[in-house]
Amino acid sequence: MAAPTVPESKQLQYISQQAADSRVNVEFETEDGMTLNIGPQHPATHGTLRIITRLDGEQVISCEPVPGYMHRGYEKLTEVRTYPQVTTLINRIDWLGSFANEVPFILAAEKLMEIEAPPRARYIRTILFELSRMANIVLFLGDLGAQLGGVTAVFYAFRDREFVLNQIEAVTGGRFHPNFDRIGGLKDDLPKGWIAETKKCMTRVHDFCDELEDLLIGNEIFQARTRGIGVIPANVGLSYGLSGANIRGSGVDWDIRRDHCPPGLVYDKADWKVCTHPDGDSFSRSWVRLQEVRESAKIVDQLLDSVPSGPVMAKVPRIIKVPEGEAYVATENPLGQMGYYVISKGDLVPFRVKIRSASFNNVSIVPWVTRGVFVPDVITILASLYFILGDIDR
């Protein structure tokens, strides 16, 4: 005997009824609060980070980030690529400041090979490093506005970042993924007239900072939204491995560029200062980043005046075999400390590369810092901690 047939419309109705019941009645009214999935598709997550929050009303009871939607397995992939090929991959880690990703890896390889880039290459490397920092943090400042509801800032940021990207593109040929740094130097020299253009660009960056300070950082509502929100004490931040502006926003006066800059970058040739802020809240982190862009523009401005002449590439063998050894090189990247722990067995390819990316540590503090805040503050905290998803997931 045939089973009684149920029309499809009935089935759909039943399913939708079940779904509605389970979602509206059960999850909204569980005893330990409502579960709200922020992400993986959400404007505040800069990609595909998922944050599971348990809410009581709008107050956060607990909050657990779930990364991994973009995990590309770079640590495994680097084991099957020659050293020059690795830079192509690691460009994609923090995609807003790509050139800065290449530098620490190249420096680690140079350290193992015991070669040094010529002075001109070191200067240009530092300049490009700072340009990518500007391109990155300018967008952060705009995005911070967008996360807090002031959409205007993001348009200004995209407009003015383009000037910086143009300069990077003029040298490297790539706006986002330059793949320009080489073991022993750089791929090419600067194009003609670039230094003067970049100097003009730096005044635009200064103008942007002033504009944004008026529009956003100095705004009363912005300050009301960020001051005292997401306070991270220095010792907690350090034990979570927070770095860069996040930890300087907590009053720790530590900058790799100034304190123990790896050879191969020439930050000691410029006169600049490290900005810190004692409060440790979202405002101080944002403020420190804004000052960093200014300092960064100052560094570039000074280095442009004193770029030495000479070759941009040291004498390196055509086939790069890195001698046996281990090296860890970290630099002060736009998002914080980024380091590569390279283990070589004397082969064409690295034996093991541990990528220490800044956002991974920066975001791991989110469960600690979001306890008891409101949903809008979660967004503020995420925006002010500033992560790039590629930098978490690698």
Partner 1 sequence: MNQLSSADTEAPPADQQAEAPRDERREALISLFSAEIGDAVVGTHIRAGDDLWIRITREAWLETARFAQQRLRMDFFDFLSGIDWRPSPYGRDMDSQEDIVVHGTEPKEPPAMATGYAGGDTRFQVFARVFSTASHEGVTLKADLPDDDLSIDSWVPVYAGANWHERECHEMYGFTFNGHPYPVNLYLPGDFEGFPLRKDFPLLARRVKPWPGIVDVEPMPGSDDDEGAEGGDS
Partner 2 sequence: MMLGDTIFDVYWFQTVIKVLVVALLIPTTALILGIVFLFKVMSWMQSRLGPQEAGPKGLLQLLADGAKFLQKEDLTPMSADVRVFRMAPIVVLMSTFLLFVIIPASPNLVVENLPNGVFFAFAVSSLSVIGVLMAGWASANKYALLGGIRAAGQLIAYELPMVLAVVGVVIQAGTLSMNGIVVAQAGFHIGPIPVPYIVTQFPMFLVFLAATQAELTQAPFDMPVAESELVAGYQVEYSGFRFLFFFMAEFATAFAFAAIAATLFLGGYYVPGLDINSGIYWVLGPIVLFTKIMLVSFLIFWFRFTYPRFREDQLQRFAWKWLIPISLVWISVTALFKVWVA
Residues that bind partner 2 (CB under 8 A): 12, 15-16, 19-20, 23-24, 27-28, 34, 36, 42-44, 58, 145-152, 155-156, 159, 215-216, 219, 221-222, 224-225, 374-379, 383
Q: What is the DSSP string of 30-43?
A: -TT-EEEEE-SS-G
Q: Which of 81, 78, 52, 47 is nearest to 64 (CA)?
A: 52
Q: Which of partner 2, partner 1, none is residue 221 near (CB under 5 to 8 Å by kind)?
A: partner 2
Q: Which amino acid is at 230?
A: G
Token pair belonging to 53: 């929050």
Q: Which of partner 2, partner 1, none is residue 16 near (CB under 5 to 8 Å by kind)?
A: partner 2
Interface region with partner 1, contact rule CB under 8 A, candidates 15-23, 92-100, 158-166, 335-343: 335-343
What's the burial of 183, exposed, middle or buried (CB within 10 Å: 0-12/13-18/19+)? buried
Choice between 124 and 378, CB closer to partner 2: 378
Choose, by CB under 8 A, the member of 1, 9, 260, 309 that binds partner 1. 260
Q: Does 48 bind partner 1 (CB under 8 A)?
A: no
Choice between 328 and 374, CB closer to partner 1: 328
Token pair belonging to 29: 């009214």
Choice between 37 and 239, CB closer to partner 1: 239
What's the burial of 4, exposed, middle or buried (CB within 10 Å: 0-12/13-18/19+)? exposed
Alpha-helical (H) ranges within 306-388 are: 358-364, 366-369, 375-385
Choose, by CB under 8 A, the member of 153, 165, 330, 382 that binds partner 1. 330
Residues 6+ apart with CB under 8 A from 131: 99, 164, 167, 168, 198, 300
Q: Does 236 bind partner 1 (CB under 8 A)?
A: yes
Interface region with partner 1, contact rule CB under 8 A, candidates 117-125, 176-184, 189-197, 237-245: 237-245
Choose, by CB under 8 A, the member of 10, 317, 371, 372 that binds partner 1. 317
Q: Which amino acid is at 101?
A: N
- Answer whether 130's CB lies under 8 Å from 270's CB: no
Interface region with partner 1, contact rule CB under 8 A, candidates 22-30, 144-152, 170-178, 312-320: 312-320
Report the alpha-carbon distance of residue 305 to residue 55 in Å, rounded.
55
3 state DSSP class of 220: helix
Q: Does 239 bind partner 1 (CB under 8 A)?
A: yes
Report the alpha-carbon distance of residue 302 to residue 219 in Å, rounded.
31
Q: Which of partner 2, partner 1, none is residue 222 near (CB under 5 to 8 Å by kind)?
A: partner 2
Q: Which of 102, 269, 262, 113 is nearest to 187 (CA)?
A: 102
Q: Which of partner 1, partner 2, none is residue 325 near (CB under 5 to 8 Å by kind)?
A: partner 1
Choice between 61 and 146, CB closer to partner 2: 146
Q: Which helix (H) or strand (E) holds 234?
A: helix 234-239
Contact pattern for partner 1 over residues 66 through 105, marking x by CB under 8 A: -xx--x-x-xxx-xxxx--x--------------------
Report the alpha-carbon distance of residue 321 to residue 344 in Å, rounded.
9
Q: Does 136 bind partner 1 (CB under 8 A)?
A: no
Q: Assess whether the previous peptide bond of 263 is cis (omega < 30° from 0).
A: no
At its nearest, how many Å lie between partner 2 and the CB of residue 159? 5
Residues binding partner 1 (CB under 8 A): 67-68, 71, 73, 75-77, 79-82, 85, 111, 235-236, 238-243, 247, 252, 254, 259-260, 317-319, 325-328, 330, 337, 339, 341, 343, 345, 347-349, 352, 354, 356, 360-361, 364-365, 368, 393
